Amino acid sequence: MSEECARDELKEFDALIGLASVKEAIERLVMHLVNERSYRAQGAKILPARRHLVFSGPVGVGKRRVARRFGEICARLGALEKGHLVVIDEEVLTAASLNKKVARMREKCEAALDGVLYIKNDAFLPAGILRATGDLRLDAVDVMIEFMLGHRGRIIVVLDARPNQFDYISFHLGLARLFNETIPFAPYDVFELVQILAGKARRLDLDLPEGIECDLFPWIIANMRRGDWRNAREIADLFAKAVGARASRNAPMRNANFGAFDRDDFRQALVAMRSDISTADHSLGVYGTVPRPSLR
């Protein structure tokens, strides 16, 4: 497998918006795979490398998507037999009993064999789940460690961590030492988020209405300062609301083709997004405790 062929495999990452440093890191990992394969083809006997990774970044910056595509590339390059993605969420590690928790972890690890095991941030990285429950044995984590050690080269584990959150598990040396690299994911900037929105519109063979930036830029810039800002997920929610507004606007025409987006579709969507944020703030009782930007 030549470097040129490997770079062809990496072209699908070029379609991802932003993430320049992430693309560089993945390219470096892929080139390592190519070199390993070349050495083996020449008769060298080398152990399969551990490629367990920490993806560190905020919500909604494409960590799971990158993990999925990396697994697929590993499969095409022969580093993994399947390259599929198996996700562990909070439910797996907050089971009612230790035995059930261990059984669920073992099932997930077995399902991920020859692929990628992706552990969502809310599963076990927060210190509250690791330390506050009194479960000092960390049985489920020990099962995962055993799997990582016993199936070297047949599984890649990716931890979804918030910035600096990997420190929460560093006390468990048996786990922390197994991860080769932390790849930081930066938040999307305002221009990248608008590109993401435009891409969603293109998938419906539509364009964004002219002048939409005048409505979107102030809303994005103000809200991206929030501690609970979800990057591309916020844009996905906004787009879904705009699609709904477009459908409602054209429903009286009784025409399956609702036509182009109107700027008012997105203005209505922005109003709905503001309402959702306000409702969430009131329900959580955070007014007066967490500063929020003006949404005007």
Fold for domain 190-284? Answer: Helicase, Ruva Protein; domain 3 (1.10.8)
Do 3-184 and 190-284 have matching folds? no
- The CATH class of 3-184 is alpha beta
The 3-class secondary structure across 239-283, one letter per residue, is HHHHHHHHHHHHHHHCCCCCCCCCHHHHHHHHHHHHHHHHHHHHH
Helix 63-76 vs helix 3-14: crossing angle, to nearest 10: 150
Q: What pLDDT is stored for residue 286 in this prediction?
A: 46
Q: What pLDDT is stored for residue 40 in this prediction?
A: 72
- Identify whether the C-beta of residue 153 lies closer than 8 Å to the C-beta of residue 77: no
Q: Which amino acid is it at 183?
A: I
Each of the 296 residues of the chain gets a pLDDT tens digit; together they read: 556 666 777 887 888 899 999 999 999 998 888 888 777 777 777 766 778 999 999 999 999 999 999 999 898 888 899 999 999 988 777 766 778 888 889 999 999 999 999 999 887 654 444 444 444 455 778 888 899 999 998 999 999 988 877 666 655 667 778 888 999 999 999 999 999 999 999 999 999 999 999 999 999 999 999 989 999 999 999 999 999 999 888 766 655 556 789 999 999 999 999 988 777 665 555 444 444 443 33
Domain positions in the chain are 3-184, 190-284
- Identify whether the C-beta of residue 49 lies closer than 8 Å to the C-beta of residue 145: no
Q: What pLDDT is stored for residue 185 in this prediction?
A: 96
Distance (Å, rounded) from C-alpha 144 to C-alpha 106?
A: 7
Cβ neighbours of residue 295 closer than 8 Å, sequence gap 6 or more: 219, 222, 223, 274, 277
Q: What pLDDT is stored for residue 259 in this prediction?
A: 74
Cβ neighbours of residue 259 closer than 8 Å, sequence gap 6 or more: 246, 250
DSSP string, 136-202: TT-HHHHHHHHHHHHTTTTEEEEEEE-TTGGGGGTT-HHHHTT--EEEE-PPP-HHHHHHHHHHHHH
